[in-house]
Amino acid sequence: MSKHEEKTNVMRVLDSKKVEYTSHCYVDTPTTNGVEVAKILGQNPADVFKTLVTTSKSGTNYVFVIPVEEELDLKKAAKAAGEKSVEMLKSKELLPLTGYVHGGCSPIGMKKPFKTFIDKSAENRDIIIFSAGKIGYQVEMKLSDLSKVIDFSLDDLTI
């Protein structure tokens, strides 16, 4: 790790479960845009995923992890979750609910577990890269290793 890089809670969770991962640090850059982050890290944007949190009319929250180049299809997301509809969680509600800020949200280590869905395109990737729970940090791992840490379903989630 560089002098700027630190262990995030996500990395500590992965270490405690003895799950293999590679960490990436881009704290010296001002971006939180996933495509730009992929370029900075020299990674294929198809390997880099973003974590989105939604809410349903019943007040149930769901987590969706999709490629950074894609957009979440709210109808497909609702269908995957078994809801009539879902909408994006308001930015100001993200930190109190998950413990994460916009641009640093990870599917690992939220304040409480939420039903999580990952876009099925992740099945075709050797690795996936996503936020390590803090802006400027990413973790890279195999999908099979992620399944040792969180429960998730794979589904078609993008437009």
Whole-number pLDDT of residue 4: 54
Check: pTM over 0.85? Answer yes or no: yes
Tens of pLDDT along the chain (159 residues) come to 444 568 999 999 999 999 999 999 988 877 768 888 888 889 999 999 999 999 998 899 999 999 999 999 999 999 999 999 999 999 999 999 999 999 899 999 999 999 999 999 999 999 999 999 999 999 999 999 999 999 999 999 999
Residue 114, number of CB atoms within 10 A of its CB: 18
The reply to whether CATH 3.40.50.720 applies to domain 9-155 is: no
Give the closest residue to 133 by CA, choosing from 53, 51, 78: 51
**pLDDT score recorded for residue 3:** 44
* 80 within 8 A of 72, measured Cβ to Cβ: no
